[in-house]
A and B are shown apart, each in its own frame.
Chain A
Amino acid sequence: MVLASFLSSELLYIPIVVITILLLITFALMLYVILLKIASGSRQRLKKRQFEIWENLVLKYLSGEVNSKKIAKEVRTKHFSLFSEFMEKYLETLKGEDFQSLTYLLKEMGLFDYNLKRLGSRKRWHRVYAAFFLGLMRDKEAVPALDKGVEEKDSLVSFVSAIALAKMGEKRYLKETLLILTRRKDLRAGRAAEVLLEFGSGACAELGLLLGKESVTRQWKYLIIDLLGYWRHLEAGPMLLELLQVSDDRQMKMRCIKALGQISYIDSASTLASYLDDEDYLARLEAVKALGRIGIWDYSAKMARCLSDENWHVRYHTAQALAAIGKEGVAVLEETARQQTSSDAQRIASHVLSEIKLLDEQVT
């Protein structure tokens, strides 16, 4: 009867106290949520109003009607976070003189120094946002601090700092940044692609060098191949062709095929054509697309055979590739479409021809 005695009426105050506390918490939470709703509504309205005022001021500033001091006076330090948020859109979209004027304004207001200081903050989020904002400002004075940021242990700070450097077009930091990024185990190549895309096609030569290094992971090599193709870096053609011929990595080969097509590297056409007979339909698909992009007539007979491929996607893209080659390719499609007996090849050729016709009608 231990429980019975424990639950004697003298102890009844315990559940009463607990329930009272819980009820109070319930009401407090309820009130808090309603207040949050009201507060967020009024914050949104305030933000909207503030943005409208600032927008007006900034536009006047850009047209020379007001000076930076007037804006600095309007925006108090306590509004720096909100003002930074407001400026994001402008910094991302404006270019040339307007952009220069804006960065001058932000420096005059102390927003640049404010973020530079925050880059050294102990709070992770402050460092992340500071790197992000400095990247938007693209002021070279921030480069040494951002370079340190890339080396940070925290992957997000490192990533955002690298993006910021890339936005500034700091090619001299490219090699170092790449080395740091490729060493990081916590950064997937897909995300690193964002950094490299910001660096732009000027990064191709450096990337090409990395492709030959054994220390670079497979995932990174895939990304580099994709990038070389994306930027149509013609100089990478021979290297990619060699990689396609010697690599025993299926994924690597597929990416090489795609990249060679994107680069339109004519010397690779015969090798690419050999993949039209590959047992993997994805390889046939990429090969036919690549040949379509290169656009030479020499392999059209072999390509035409792929109109009867067992895979619909291969057939469809073959028809499109033939159409892309030009008049000769279209003639092959027309001939196939005229066949008396209904076949996969005939159906897909007719379909793509009708697509082309529709497109032509839309253009004219």
Chain B
Amino acid sequence: MKDILLNLIEKYNWLILFYFLGINGTYILLNILSFFAIKRYLKERKTTELERIFQSPFFEPISIIAPAYNEEATIAQSVQSLLHLQYPQHEVVVVNDGSKDNTMQVLIERYGMVSAPITYPSQIGCKKIKEVYVSPEYPNLVMVDKENGGKGDAMNAGVNVSRYPLVCFIDADSLLESDALLKVVRPFLEDPTTIGVGGIVRIVNGCKVESGQVTEVGIPKNSLARFQIVEYLRAFLFGRTGWDVINGMLIISGAFGLFSKEAVVECGGYRSDTVGEDMDFTVRLHRIMREKKREYRMTFIADPVCWTEVPEKLKTLSGQRNRWQRGLIDTMLFNMKMLFNPKYGIVGLFAMPFFFFFEMLGPIAELTGYIVFFVSWYFNIVNFTFALFFLLAAIVLGIVLSMGSLVLEELSFRRYPKIRHLVTLFAYAVLENFGYRQLNTWWRFRGFLDHILGKKGWGKMERKGFQTIKG
């Protein structure tokens, strides 16, 4: 019995070694690909005259869809920022998804919104729309009041009411930079097969906001938010950019993504029975396009910025990570037939397996890795010093990868203006490996268990509101 156990543990140790090599090898590859992609983008950007785009009356108009659930703290500023975006023609559709707070009243009062029974084609299924409001002061602002049905359902309602051929989904608690639409629309002009584009999501905590725009980029005082800055830079700058290079991007964030409305409708919109609606939607788009043998491209640009508020409390953050994990599992299982299926090209053969084995099963591998490490040590299967060094190597490699994204940031967009900002981020790139990372693994593991137990909820997100400048 003991022999069998020891044999199993030894095999597991090998598995962990391959897991380590696989995940980090892919990350290094993504880092390298991102470096060249961002370099290329920055060069090409020089010849794109944004002013010309802004003046051009021929750009396809965009409907911005902002689902809102209990967003009274930030909704007015967010909408103000959306209304003043630079773009030839756009409308803002705020979907109040049955908020229990004063989200709707805030908008009605601030923008003088009045009820307007607008007719719209019901192209995608969604919960009952109770009323549509328009603002006589801002004819390009529409508010949809509907029964609560979840974020995906709210997005679908927004698509139904929207008027324009391109739809941009953003979180109602986020702020878009004034030229974000002009930048994010570029791939639609350059490549006729484009059906979706994602932009970078950056953290607004610690930044100063004036009239719905970030006027001074800073680092938050809260440690959890600081860890998340490092995480977001890693996820977007080298994660998304790298996957984009090989056309294997499996997620366009629900916080900021631009899609062809035709493709959204063709795909049947967002699923309302999942908590990972954005990833599920992106994967399904891949699936449908490939099944229909349609030439298509979904891409990511690291330049158009969406600023978002991140949780500063452990409880809220754990809930968010738990939800992300459940969303990931749900998406993977729902689209299981794509896994290792050559019919789905690079998505089926590389991206899906990576997300399945390394992202979805990652917390299990990591957590059991820690347990097996101690068991192996106890039974003297593995040289303790070696194992310790192995763990150390994994940590340092993680730090190197985080540093890689900071290098990318500094080579390209340089949003953090002061050296002390960078030094702080370095420190947090190191510190995250001692406690934060393990916590994250635990939250994700809990997400795994909750998924098995059938938990469906979103958890509660507490909003502080943006840090505004008193004028």
Contact = CB atoms under 8 A, between A and B. Distances in A.
B399 A197 contact: no
B308 to A, nearest CB: 24
Contact of A188 (B13, B192, B422): B192
B217 interface: no
Contacts of B116: 312
Contacts of A40: 410, 414
A187 B192 contact: yes
Contact of B396 (A22, A226, A230): A22
A297 interface: no
10 contacts: A3-B13, A3-B381, A4-B381, A7-B387, A32-B407, A37-B422, A128-B47, A193-B58, A311-B118, A313-B163
A19 B134 contact: no
B393 A29 contact: no
Interface stretch (A9-17, A105-113, A114-122, A263-271): A9-17
Interface of B: 10, 13-14, 43-44, 46-47, 52-53, 56-60, 114, 116-119, 132, 134, 136, 139, 163, 188-192, 380-383, 385-387, 389-390, 392-393, 396-397, 399-400, 403-404, 406-407, 410-411, 414, 419, 422-423, 426
A160 B190 CA distance: 12
Nearest to B192: A188
Nearest to B389: A15
A128 B44 contact: yes
Contacts of B58: 189-190, 193, 197, 223, 226-227, 230
Contact of A29 (B46, B59, B404): B404
Interface in A132-155: 132, 155
A356 interface: no
A66 interface: no
A23 interface: yes
B189 A188 contact: yes
B396 to A, nearest CB: 4
A355 B138 CA distance: 12
Interface string A17-56: 0110011011001101110111010000000000000000
Contacts, number: 147
Contacts of A23: 396
Given A230-B57, A316-B139, A36 B407 contact: yes
A191 B190 contact: yes
Contact of B119 (A16, A34, A185, A310): A310
A36 B411 contact: yes
A3 B382 contact: yes
Nearest to B187: A188
A22 B117 contact: no
Given A18-B393, A193-B58, A312-B116, A29 B407 contact: yes
Contacts of B414: 37, 40
B396 A26 contact: yes
A96 to B, nearest CB: 21
A30 B13 contact: no
Given A22-B400, A33-B406, 18 more contacts: A3-B382, A7-B386, A15-B386, A15-B392, A19-B396, A22-B399, A29-B404, A30-B426, A34-B422, A36-B407, A36-B411, A185-B192, A186-B190, A188-B189, A188-B192, A193-B56, A194-B56, A281-B119
B189 A191 contact: yes
Question: What are the 10 closest A-B residue pairs judged by CB atoms, nearest first?
Answer: A312-B116, A15-B389, A191-B189, A193-B58, A29-B403, A22-B396, A7-B383, A7-B386, A188-B192, A36-B410
A2 interface: yes
A34 B423 CA distance: 8
A190 B188 contact: yes
A132 B46 CA distance: 10
Nearest to B137: A355
A19 B393 contact: yes
B377 to A, nearest CB: 11
Contacts of A191: 189-190
Contact of B383 (A12, A188, A230): A12
Contacts of A310: 117-119
A299 interface: no
A33 B385 contact: no
Interface string A228-242: 001000000000000
A301 interface: no
A1 interface: yes
Contacts of A223: 58
B186 to A, nearest CB: 9
Nearest to B43: A125
B118 A22 contact: no
A312 B139 CA distance: 10
A30 to B, nearest CB: 6
A115 to B, nearest CB: 13
A312 B188 contact: no
Nearest to B390: A15
Given A3-B10, A22-B393, A33 B119 contact: no
Contact of B389 (A4, A12, A29, A155): A12
A8 interface: yes
A310 B120 CA distance: 10
Given A2-B10, A197-B56, A26 B400 contact: yes
A311 B119 contact: yes
A26 B190 contact: no
A191 B10 CA distance: 59
A171 interface: no
B327 to A, nearest CB: 32
Given A4-B383, A7-B386, A282-B163, A313 B139 contact: yes
B263 to A, nearest CB: 15
B396 A33 contact: no
A189 B393 CA distance: 52
Interface string A164-204: 00000000000000000000011111110110010000000
In this complex, the member of B57, B163, B393, B404 whose beta carbon has the largest number of chain A beta carbons within 10 angstroms is: B393
A132 B52 CA distance: 14
Contact of A156 (B44, B136, B406): B44
B420 to A, nearest CB: 10
Contacts of B411: 36
A129 B397 contact: no
A125 B43 CA distance: 7
Given A4-B381, A129-B47, A188-B188, A313 B118 contact: yes
Contacts of B383: 4, 7-9, 12
Contacts of A313: 118, 134, 139, 163
B181 to A, nearest CB: 13
Contacts of B387: 7
Interface in A311-328: 311-313, 316
A4 B383 CA distance: 7
A153 B406 CA distance: 35
B400 A190 contact: no
Given A33-B407, A194-B52, A312-B116, A9 B385 contact: yes
A4 B189 CA distance: 58
A37 B189 contact: no
A40 B14 CA distance: 45
Contact of B46 (A1, A18, A38, A129): A129
B382 A7 contact: yes
A311 B120 CA distance: 9
A223 B192 CA distance: 14
B386 A25 contact: no
A88 B136 CA distance: 42
Interface string A40-76: 1000000000000000000000000000000000000
